[in-house]
Amino acid sequence: MQVFAVDKVRKGLVRALAGSSVTADEISDAVTSIESDVLAAGSNISTDEIGRMVLAYLVDVDEAAYLRFVSVHRDFRDASDFEREVATLDRSDIEA
């Protein structure tokens, strides 16, 4: 277990959302919301669960940012990993 690092979440969102229309204030709001969810979950939350929280936010605001983040979060190896994830987006039943 790692200690929750709000700065890592913020940096991950900023990196994923680079070039998007999402504002700095919207990112701050997302970070605050994710941080609240993490604190509510208690000390037994894993980094994978935090990653899923970030993905749940991104899929609603910017699909390209979602794909950028998920490619790192899930350690994509090749184009087939992206193809599989895009197919998931197309089905609108994402399970991050």
Query: Is the Cβ–Cβ distance between 10 and 22 less than 8 Å?
Result: no
pLDDT digits (tens, 9 = 90+) for 2-29: 678 899 999 999 999 999 999 999 999 9
pLDDT digits (tens, 9 = 90+) for 30-44: 999 999 999 998 877
**Residue 14 vs residues 30, 59, 81: alpha-carbon distances, Å:** 11, 15, 23
Identify the band that residue 53 occupies on the pLDDT scale cut at 50, 70 and 90: very high
The whole-angstrom separation of Cα 57 and Cα 30 is 7
Indicate if the pLDDT at residue 83 is higher than 70: yes
State the residue range of the domain holding 16: 6-91
Q: Is 1 among the domain residues?
A: no
Q: Is 43 among the domain residues?
A: yes
The whole-angstrom separation of Cα 16 and Cα 69 is 6
Indicate if the pLDDT at residue 75 is higher than 70: yes
Q: Is 44 among the domain residues?
A: yes
First to last CA, the chain: 20
Indicate if the pLDDT at residue 1 is higher than 60: no
Q: Is 74 among the domain residues?
A: yes
Angle at 50 between CA 33 and CA 27, to 5 degrees: 40
Indicate if the pLDDT at residue 96 is higher than 70: no
Average pLDDT rounded to a whole number, residues 59-85: 82
